[in-house]
Amino acid sequence: MTDTAPAFTADSTRAVLDSACRDAGLDPKGATLMRLGENALYKLASAPIVVRIARTMDYWPNVEKEVAVARWLADQGFASGRLSRPADQPRAAGGHPVTFWEFIPGEVAMPDDVALLGRELRELHRLPSPTTFTLPRTDILARIRPRVASSPVSDDDKQLLLERCEELENEVARLSFPLDECAIHGDAHIKNLMITDSGPLLIDFENFSWGQPEWDLSMTATEYVTAGWWTDKQYNDFARSYGYDIRNWEGFPTLRATHEIKMTTWIMQNVDHSPEIKAEFDTRMRTIRTGEANARWRPF
């Protein structure tokens, strides 16, 4: 086993939250932890604000991009999450980049809402290129190696994942994509769509980039084909809503395998948090080792 990164836990991020809120003139008392994954998300009790804490200061440039994307989408009138006060963001607290967002009074999209995700992605992919900042080029595998290096899993698992990453990078480089490049979400799953009284809102901009829309579409297709999270009708509604079924493209198996690696290394960061997460990691690793999805993946 290699050394792991400093713990990113409810306790450690609570201290960061307190510091960031005090610096911003906000009251952290009574805040609730909404999610702990790539980021920690806290909902304040004192104001309709969600505080987002990234894992390390290494993510600072990416968090700056999230802020720029949020402002650009707002300028475009696109239905998406909005920044809250303070105006100067991101901010640093306790060795972490921190941002503040308007709380969205709605619900996370449900499986039958997946067609709305297809519609939102279609509209996103039609937006013009931003002119006030430059989106980075798409690199879906960029975070895989740091995740592997810092995760508490066996050296055998790490070696397999790194070798598969190298293979997939070579395969992706040889692909000829059928769709035009555009701004893409980069993590276009249903949990990044909120349903409100005024309509759906796309959230979570940390993986925004400029590249192939096929990456966004193959996310849901992988969840359908590999993870088994969609019924036939739900997936077909998604593809129909967007106007394209990525499964019909010969390059889809490569994109699918790439998403499988990304989805697996996301949960591997927290394998020591619960037996359920460890069991799910083992299930996903069996899929990667064998190339066959013989067991349904559990979402986390």
* pTM, to two decimals: 0.87
Q: How far apart, in whole angstroms, are the C-alpha atoms of residue 42 and residue 28?
A: 9
**Contact partners, residue 251, CB within 8 Å, separation at least 6:** 175, 176, 177, 214
Give the pLDDT score at 5.
55
| Residue entry with tokens 């579409």 | 217
Q: What is the pLDDT of residues 138-164, one digit of tens each?
A: 998 888 888 888 888 899 999 999 999
Q: Looking at the domain that runs over 111-290, which CATH code has it been given?
A: 3.90.1200.10
Which whole number is the average pLDDT over 114-121?
97
User: Is pLDDT at 121 greater than 70 in this prediction?
Assistant: yes
10-103 CATH, one of 1.10.3720.10, 3.30.200.20, 3.30.70.890, 3.40.109.10: 3.30.200.20
Per domain, the residue ranges of the chain are 10-103, 111-290
Check if the beta carbon of residue 106 is closer than 8 Å to that of residue 127: no
pLDDT in tens, 69-111: 999 999 999 999 999 998 999 999 999 999 999 999 999 999 9
Distances (CA, A) of 297 to 100, 132, 224, 233, 240: 32, 40, 10, 19, 25
What span, in angstroms and rounded, lies between the C-alpha atoms of 72 and 89?
14
